[in-house]
Amino acid sequence: MGDVLGVLVDNQPQLEFDRDRPVPQEHLEHLALMDRKMDGGIVLEGQAFAEPDLDARTRFVAANLANALAQGKDNLAMALTTWLGVRRPDLKQVKITSGELGFTVDLDYQSPYRRSKPEPQVVQFHPRPPTRH
């Protein structure tokens, strides 16, 4: 596994962005559109940023990612994860924790994301003799 950004909700993997895979041109154009929209200013945690820097944009996108996942907006969540993966190559994990008052988002730049190993599935096969009609 190469350089992967992992998105976890309550310690459960939700999305991954593999930086070793090329991003299609139309997706890169969509990221540029997202950047242009943020150029007009953002509101983050009740505070307005007329000219948001990369850190403010990152926190804004991560917060929107948490909302998109909570609302089941999978395509938006994937687009936001792609933005984070492309624009923040140093970001390793986005850790979202839900609580009584909403959620918290931790941006982890230190700990490399590791895929959890699935537990082996035991499959039992009991063949039956063919039935005759």
Report pLDDT digits (tens) over 41-56: 999 989 999 999 999 9
| Of the candidates 74, 75, 57, 67, the residue with the CA atom closest to the CA atom of residue 98 | 67
In this structure, are residues 3 and 20 in contact, taking their beta carbons and an 8 Å threshold? Answer: yes
Residue range 90-104: average pLDDT? 94
Residue range 86-102: average pLDDT? 94
Task: Dihedral sign for Cα 81, 83, 84, 90, please.
Answer: positive
- What pLDDT does residue 100 have? 86
- Bridge partners of 94, per DSSP, are 7, 107
Distance CA 10, CA 51 (A): 32
- In this predicted structure, the answer to whether residue 108 has a pLDDT above a threshold of 90 is yes
- Least confident piece of the model among 9-13, 15-19, 84-88, 125-129: 125-129
- In this predicted structure, the answer to whether residue 102 has a pLDDT above a threshold of 90 is no
Q: What is the pTM of this model?
A: 0.84
Residue 85 is encoded by which pair of tokens?
A: 């993966």
- In this predicted structure, the answer to whether residue 5 has a pLDDT above a threshold of 70 is yes
- Least confident piece of the model among 23-32, 51-60, 97-106, 121-130: 121-130
